[in-house]
Amino acid sequence: MIWGNIAIIAPAGRLDSEKFDSGIGWLKRHGAQVTVMPNVLGGAEEKYLSASAEARVADLHSAWGNPETDLIICTRGGFGSAQILSLIDWALLRSRDIPLLGLSDITALHLAMFKNGVGTPVSGPMLGRLAEMDDFTGDSLKRAISGAEPQKIIATPLQHGANFEAFPRALNLTIAASLCGTPFMPDLSGTLLILEDIAEPPYKIERALTQLQQCGILGQCAGLAFGQFTDCGTEAELEHIFRKYASEVKGPVWSGFPFGHEAVTVSLNWARLVRVENMAIFA
C-alpha cells in the first residue's frame, strides 16, 4: 500500500461535492486513511475560494503538524494558493518532509515550498480527478509517490540537445510567471522545466513566456518541455509560439509532453531526477 495516511487540503478553489465524494471514495477503495481538514468545505464569501486565507493556512499547518500524515493532496486549483504564501509558517513545514500533490494553481505553493526548502512537491492529478484516472495516469501517479523506476515519456522534439539528468519543475505557466519578482520564486537554473496551462488565449501564453524569458529563467534551465495547453488556441498557433521561445533555451526542447489538465497525464516528483537520453525522456 503506497497511500498511507492522507490529509486533504484546499489551498485554492472549492471542489464541488460530487467530485469531492468520488475522490475520497477512490482513495478509501485503494486502502488510504483519509483526513479531511476542517476548512476544505467551509466556504468563503468569494465563490472561487474554498475558505479565507487564514483558514486555508490553518488547514495546511494542521495537516503538516499531524505526525501521522504521510501525504497531502489538494482538492483542486483555480485561484488562491498565492494568497496564503506570506501566512505560512515555513519553520513548521521544515520540521518534516511530506509530499504535497497538486498542479495548476498549486504551482504557487510548490514553487514557494521549493524556495523555502520544505517538503516534496509532486505535480499530478488532484482529488477531483482521481476517480477519472486511466491506467497510464494512475500508474504514473503511483510511480511519482512511491519512487518506482521511471518510465519513458513520449514527446515531440522541437530542439535537439545533449543528454542530461535534472530535477523536474512541472509548472502552470501563468502561475509561474505571476510569481516572478516575488520572494517566493526560486532559482530554476539547471532544471527541466515542464510547462502547461488551460483556457488562456495565445497572446497570454506568449506574455507569460516573455516574462520567463526576461527573468532569465528560460536561458538558465537545462531543458524545456511544453506540456498540455488545453483550450489555449489552435495547434498551429501554439507550435509557432513554442518554436519561437525554444530558441531561448540552451538545451533540448519538446512539445506534446503529456502533463497538464487532460485526462491522460504524467505525475512528476520534484525530488526525483529525470533522465534525457537521445531526446527520450525518462520520468
pLDDT, tens digit, 9 for 90 and up, residues 31-64: 999 999 999 987 778 889 999 999 999 999 999 9
Question: What's the N-to-C CA distance of the chain in angstroms?
Answer: 22
Q: What percent of the chain has pLDDT over 90?
A: 94
**CATH architecture of the domain formed by 152-282:** 3-Layer(bba) Sandwich (3.50)
List, for residues 235-250, the tens digit of each pLDDT value. Answer: 999 999 999 999 999 9
Helix (H, G, I), strand (E, B) or coil at 139: helix
Place of cell 492529478: 125
Rounded to an integer, what distance in angstroms lies between the CA atom of residue 108 and that of residue 104?
9
Of 169, 69, 181, nearest in space to 113 by CA: 169
Give yes or no for residue 201 having a pLDDT over 80. yes
Say which CATH topology domain 5-131 has.
Rossmann fold (3.40.50)
Q: What is the mean pLDDT of residues 183-190?
A: 98
List, for residues 1-25, the tens digit of each pLDDT value. Answer: 578 999 999 999 999 999 999 999 9
List, for residues 148-184, the tens digit of each pLDDT value. Answer: 888 999 999 999 999 999 999 999 999 999 999 999 9
Rounded to an integer, what distance in angstroms lies between the CA atom of residue 26 and that of residue 32?
9
Instruction: Give the H or E element holding residue 20.
Output: helix 17-29
Model pLDDT, residue 122: 98
Instruction: Give the H or E element holding residue 178.
Output: helix 173-179
Rounded to an integer, what distance in angstroms lies between the CA atom of residue 13 and that of residue 38?
15
CA distances (Å), 181 to each of 118, 261, 275, in order? 20, 26, 30
Outline which parts of the chain fall under CATH 3.40.50.10740: 5-131
List, for residues 85-121, the tens digit of each pLDDT value. Answer: 999 999 999 999 999 999 999 999 999 999 999 999 9
Contacts of 215 (CB under 8 A, 6+ apart): 180, 181
Specify the length of the chain in residues. Answer: 283
Q: Sorting pLDDT into bands at 50, 70 and 90, what band is 207? A: very high
Instruction: Give the H or E element holding residue 219.
Output: helix 217-220
List, for residues 117-144, the tens digit of each pLDDT value. Answer: 999 999 999 999 999 999 999 999 999 9
Model pLDDT, residue 147: 81
**Average of per-residue pLDDT values in the chain:** 96
CA atoms within 13 A on the CB side of 149: 2
Cell triple for residue 265?
Answer: 497525464
Q: By the 8 A CB rule, do 261 and 283 touch?
A: no
Contacts of 79 (CB under 8 A, 6+ apart): 12, 13, 48, 49, 105
Helix (H, G, I), strand (E, B) or coil at 169: strand
Percent of residues in the chain assigned helix, strand, coil, to nearest 5: 35, 20, 40
Outline which parts of the chain fall under CATH 3.50.30.60: 152-282
As a dihedral over the C-alpha atoms of residue 206, residue 265, residue 43, residue 110, rounded to 10 degrees, the angle is: -70
Model pLDDT, residue 45: 82
Q: What percent of the chain has pLDDT over 70?
A: 100
Q: Which residues sit opposite 193 in a β-bridge?
A: 169, 224
Helix (H, G, I), strand (E, B) or coil at 110: helix
Q: By the 8 A CB rule, do 15 and 75 touch?
A: yes
